[in-house]
């Protein structure tokens, strides 16, 4: 089966309205869930080798509209991995300390250590998304940030961090269903934020901001992957297959040992 994910190559332009968030790559739910489990097992094996090698690291960046289910995607992916080899960072509204530094300061601090898989729930891209939509800084400031982000990500990749960026793409109708579901289930009330309704009214502005971020910041070293995410099972498979392919390309190796195991005797 083909992949549902749309990988945006350097210099290529996408329009989110032309990418079907219901796309499944021709997979069935049962088949996708089976393949997802298989892929996650292989990811776990390569994660162990990456940690043992302790020379390089992997950074997974997750962005989405409200109710895009970043938390769920991260939870499902990590369920089969070693938590000791994962560093998760959620980027919320910046603290006063973070606002006293440049916008990339907190992102650089969160970069994964050698041998680790770093996962960012939201990221430095918020500074060309919500900051742009809500006009929190002048246009000339956020426009300059695309090049600054590209240079920042280049620095990370030159220092052994492979970056994989996911935009979980849902439809406006799907968002409505998910918001409504939160209102109808008491165990989901805590997830509902009245502010989500105000943000929903800015859907078109956010879509344009996402398109610009993806188109301007898809580089050869760190391309964006747009994942159709109306169907969570198709989303999970698409993410897992990209992560697995990336780890295979990294090709981590166990370190060479300085002794002959056959000569070791344990009394």
> What CATH code is carried by the domain that includes residue 73?
3.40.50.300
Q: Is there a domain that residue 264 lies in?
A: no
Q: Is there a domain that residue 10 lies in?
A: yes
d(CA 32, CA 168): 17
CA angle centred on 160, ends 155 and 161, rounded to 5°: 75
Q: Is there a domain that residue 99 lies in?
A: yes
CA angle centred on 164, ends 160 and 168, rounded to 5°: 165
Tokens matching residue 132: 């742009």
Q: Is there a domain that residue 182 lies in?
A: yes
For 135-189, what is each residue's pLDDT tens digit? 999 999 999 999 999 999 999 999 999 999 999 999 999 999 999 999 999 998 8
The residue segments making up the domain with residue 217 are 6-253
Q: Is there a domain that residue 19 lies in?
A: yes
For 17-59, what is each residue's pLDDT tens digit? 999 999 999 999 999 999 999 999 999 999 999 999 999 999 9
Q: What is the pTM of this model?
A: 0.95
Q: Is there a domain that residue 1 lies in?
A: no
Residues in the chain: 267
Percent of the chain with pLDDT over 70: 99
Tokens matching residue 185: 């289930």
Q: Is there a domain that residue 45 lies in?
A: yes
d(CA 101, CA 85): 29
What are the percentages of helix, strand and coil residues in the chain, rounded to 5? 50, 15, 35
Tokens matching residue 172: 């406006």
Q: Is there a domain that residue 50 lies in?
A: yes
Number of folded domains in the chain?
A: 1
């Amino acid at each position: 089966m083909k992949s549902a994910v749309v990988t945006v190559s350097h210099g290529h332009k996408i329009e989110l309205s032309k990418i079907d968030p219901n796309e499944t790559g021709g997979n069935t739910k049962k088949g996708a869930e089976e393949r997802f489990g298989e892929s996650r097992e292989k990811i776990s094996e390569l994660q162990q080798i990456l940690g043992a090698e302790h020379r390089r690291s992997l950074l997974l960046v997750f962005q989405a509209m409200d109710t895009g289910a970043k938390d769920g995607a991260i939870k499902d992916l990590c369920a089969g991995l070693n938590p000791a080899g994962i560093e998760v960072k959620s980027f919320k509204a910046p603290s006063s300390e973070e606002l006293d530094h440049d916008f990339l300061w907190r992102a650089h601090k969160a970069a994964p250590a050698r041998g680790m898989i770093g996962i960012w729930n939201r990221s430095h891209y918020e500074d060309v998304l919500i900051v742009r939509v809500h006009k929190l800084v002048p246009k000339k400031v956020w426009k300059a940030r695309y090049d600054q982000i590209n240079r920042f990500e280049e620095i990370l990749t030159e220092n052994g961090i492979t970056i994989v960026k996911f935009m979980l793409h849902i439809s406006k109708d799907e968002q409505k269903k998910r918001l409504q579901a939160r209102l109808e289930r008491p165990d989901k009330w805590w997830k509902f934020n009245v502010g989500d309704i105000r943000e929903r009214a800015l859907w078109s502005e956010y879509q344009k901001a996402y398109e610009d971020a993806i188109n301007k910041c898809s580089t050869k070293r760190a391309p964006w992957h747009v994942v159709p995410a109306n169907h969570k099972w198709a989303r999970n498979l698409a993410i897992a297959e990209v992560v697995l392919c990336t780890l295979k390309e990294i090709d981590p190796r166990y370190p060479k040992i300085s002794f002959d195991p056959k000569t070791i005797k344990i009394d």
